[in-house]
Amino acid sequence: MLDIKFIRENADLIKAAAVKKHLSFNVDDLVVIDTKRLAILKEVEEARAELNKPLVFNSPEEKEQILSERQKIKSDSKAKEDELEEIMKVWRTLMLQVPNVPDISVPEGSDDTGNVEVRKWGDIPQFDFTPLDHIALMEGQDMVDFERGTKTAGFRGYFLKNDAAMLEIAIWQYAMSRWQNKGFTPMLVPSLVRREALLGTGYLPQGEDDLYKDGNDYLAGTGEVAGMYYYSDEVLNEAELPKKMIVWSPCFRKEAGSHGKDVKGLIRVHEFYKCEQIVLCIASHEISVKYHEEIARNAEEMMEELGLPYHTVANCGGDLGLGQVKKYDIEAWMPSQEKYRETHSASYFHDFQTRRLNIRYKDKDGKMQYAHSLNNTAAATPRLVTAIVENYQQKDGTIKVPEILVPFMNGKTILGKPFRNLSNSSTAVNDAGVSNI
């Protein structure tokens, strides 16, 4: 949410933001309704002031006249208050639709095809055999059960087993420990949240279709929701900032609009787990940019420690959310698809979220300010598991453990047992790199 004064004074900037983000929003409608709101609010406040004046009269007749006049003012004021209430409903709805202004460096584009590569790291693995996808590898090693997963949880359901279960837990331990050592406060946060938490972080009302809900209770798609709501309606001291958190939670998304995309495997699932970086800092664009680069680099360093080839893209306007000022996606190389797939997303919002959540701080001069907020994935699983499995696979179907994870795997360096014999025609591999066994 933006300041209404800023919106009125910069209507052209808001119009340009809506165009760049490819959003349908008419700021003129908001300005018109806000003008009505202010006019009626003035009338209501004047009526209240009149009604609060002490009664002064010199005769019973004068008292009766004054009381009659006050009754009319009260009646008229009630009608204005009812009108104001209806206008406020429209006003609040429009205010929740105002897009944040993207940074000037955000590329033009209508969807993720307009994202621009800004960094690349690692050598694409060159196999002397036809690599398998994560589905064939993990089923061959009894690491995953999709059939029973679907039976239990429906479409996109899965069970992780054996080495895959331990690998996923190892990733969480590694990430939480790593970020704690960087000064982030580790937290396990709720996935079940109130509607207000999702409104405050900007996931509602636009993202309603992608959320599981029961009345006013929702299952969040990221730990950012609960992590940010933790400080809602609080006033911090500037000396406390920045607040840095590394939060872990189960996450749930319906994947609305993704029908037909990644229908097999673990790339796109309804239930997953995530370690998320969250930062609250002072209200400064320069400081927000500084921390945006820092949290993105935190994730890139982790990918390098895991030995996973990746590239980082700056998201174009059409691939930004309503509240994001700028976003980077970090994408890992997936050998079976011969392309990069997103594993991390780093965003900053200025005070868009904190105004909604009413997270403020007192600056050095004692003035109240809304903090700035940022977030970035630290580790999302099982998607990160799929990248490790595919990039670290060996000819016999076993999988190396990234060196950084070995201590978290009780010293284990190889996952699974050999199950591929490429000299044996009974173990065929099709042209897509998917095992037929």
Distance CA 437, CA 134 (A): 14
Structure tokens at 136: 């064939």
Q: Where are the domains of the chain?
A: 4-95, 112-415
Q: Are 302 and 378 in contact (CB under 8 A)?
A: yes
How confident is the model over 204-243, as pLDDT tens digits? 988 899 999 999 999 999 999 999 999 999 999 999 999 9
How confident is the model over 140-163, as pLDDT tens digits? 999 999 999 999 999 999 999 999
Superfamily for domain range 4-95 = Serine-tRNA synthetase, tRNA binding domain (1.10.287.40)
Distance CA 29, CA 97 (A): 11
How confident is the model over 333-343, as pLDDT tens digits? 999 999 999 99
How confident is the model over 416-428, as pLDDT tens digits? 999 988 765 444 4
List the one residue out of 36, 37, 11, 38 whose CA is nearest residue 25. 11
Judge residue 402's burial from the number of C-beta atoms within 10 Å of its C-beta, 0-12 exposed, 13-18 middle, 19 or more buried. Answer: buried
Q: Are 344 and 248 in contact (CB under 8 A)?
A: no
Distance CA 68, CA 126 (A): 90
Structure tokens at 113: 């095809």
Which CATH number does the domain 112-415 belong to among 3.30.930.10, 3.40.50.300, 3.40.140.80, 3.30.360.10?
3.30.930.10
Q: Which residue has the higher pLDDT, 429 or 130?
A: 130
pLDDT greater than 50 at residue 201 = yes
Structure tokens at 231: 């400080």
Average pLDDT, the chain: 93
Q: Are strands 235-237 and 360-362 parallel, antiparallel or unpaired?
A: parallel
How confident is the model over 285-325, as pLDDT tens digits? 999 999 999 999 999 999 999 999 999 999 999 999 999 99
Q: Which residues are marked as active site?
A: 253, 268, 342, 345, 383
Could you write out the DSSP letters of every residue in 5-74?
A: HHHHHTHHHHHHHHHHTT----HHHHHHHHHHHHHHHHHHHHHHHHHTSPP--SSHHHHHHHHHHHHHHH
Q: Are 336 and 347 in contact (CB under 8 A)?
A: no
- Taking residues 99-119, what's their average pLDDT? 97
How confident is the model over 31-74, as pLDDT tens digits? 999 999 999 999 988 888 888 788 787 788 777 787 788 788 88
SS3 assignment, position 368:
strand
Judge residue 102's burial from the number of C-beta atoms within 10 Å of its C-beta, 0-12 exposed, 13-18 middle, 19 or more buried. Answer: buried
